[in-house]
Amino acid sequence: MKKRANQLTNECASLMNLWVEKHLGVGSIYEKAAKNLDEPYTIELATRQRSRREEAERQNIRLKLAVEHQQKLAESLSVLWRKRADVVTKECGALTSQPYLKHHVVNMLDSLQESCKES
């Protein structure tokens, strides 16, 4: 009877140790369970990170193309503005080189000066 009591006590102690290892995180049973629980989460996390990175790369490409397009547009507008400025400058130069315009401008200035002197 003592022998059977010792045997049951030993079995009880080993079961208690197994329960402690399993539920309190000590030993290989818990480590295996934790590893199995973490793998799907890390795989899902890595998948989400990869998809976000790929989307960011696609968006960067779109933004680079948009910036290049805007730069080309700005350059062509700059060329057009310079051409238009040259045309306007030439037109104004042609107007100021006409003798009757100078004469009228001078006459207007002279008449303004005379009216100021009279006042």
Q: What is the pLDDT of residues 16-72, one digit of tens each?
A: 776 666 666 555 555 655 555 566 777 888 889 999 999 999 999 999 999 999 999
pLDDT tens per residue, range 78-104: 999 999 988 888 887 766 665 555 544
Instruction: Characterize 10-21 residue by residue with b for buried, 16 or more Cβ atoms within 10 angstroms of its Cβ, and e for exposed.
Output: eeeeeeeeeeee
Angle at 48 between CA 46 and CA 53, to 5 degrees: 95
pLDDT value of position 65: 96
Q: What is the mean pLDDT of the chain?
A: 75
Structural domain span for residue 53: 2-118
Percent of the chain with pLDDT over 70: 60
- Here the tokens at position 80 are 């057009």
Closest-CA residue to 34 (of 24, 45, 47): 24
pLDDT value of position 44: 84
For residue 30, count CB atoms less than 10 angstroms from its CB and return exposed for 0-12, middle for 13-18, buried for 19 or more.
middle
pLDDT value of position 22: 61
pLDDT value of position 59: 96
| Domain total in the chain | 1
